[in-house]
Amino acid sequence: MKDFARAFYRSASWQKCRESFLASKMWLCERCKAQAATIAHHKIYLTPANINDPTITLNWNNLEALCQDCHNREHSDKMRRGPYRVAADGSILPPMS
């Protein structure tokens, strides 16, 4: 975990957000639908610039319920392909390949 995000991940507001979000997905991974989701992944990755912006950090639209395997895959793919891009209207576009 990155240093700048440590305080955020420890915060009560994130713990609450993560739990209610994962509960809303029935604690099931949104990708493989096979394993229990243990991670609320941020589609727009957290950065020092957005870590204090709750419209990014605590926004369900920016979260995805993932199991450990799918989460690992997400992040190792992203290393190769680069981050998601955000369109002018705020929607999320896949990385350029």
Report in angstroms how near the CB of residue 5 gets to Zn ion at its nearest.
11
Report in angstroms how near the CB of residue 36 gets to Zn ion at its nearest.
9
Out of 22, 44, 56, 67, name the contact with Zn ion by CB under 5 A: 67
Paired tokens of 95: 């990385």
The upper half-sphere exposure of residue 8, i.e. CA atoms within 13 Å in the direction of its Cβ, equals: 20
Stretch that binds Zn ion, among 1-9, 17-25, 34-42, 77-85 (CB under 5 A): 34-42
Question: Any contact of residue 58 with Zn ion (CB under 5 A)?
Answer: no
Burial 32-56 (b: 16+ CB within 10 A, else e): eeeeebebbbbebbbeeeeeeeeeb
Distance CA 47, CA 53 (A): 10
Stretch that binds Zn ion, among 11-19, 22-30, 48-56, 81-89 (CB under 5 A): 22-30
The answer to whether the beta carbons of residues 16 and 28 sit under 8 Å apart is: no
- For Zn ion (CB under 5 A), the number of binding residues is 7
- Contact residues toward Zn ion (CB under 5 A) are 29, 31-32, 35, 41, 67, 70
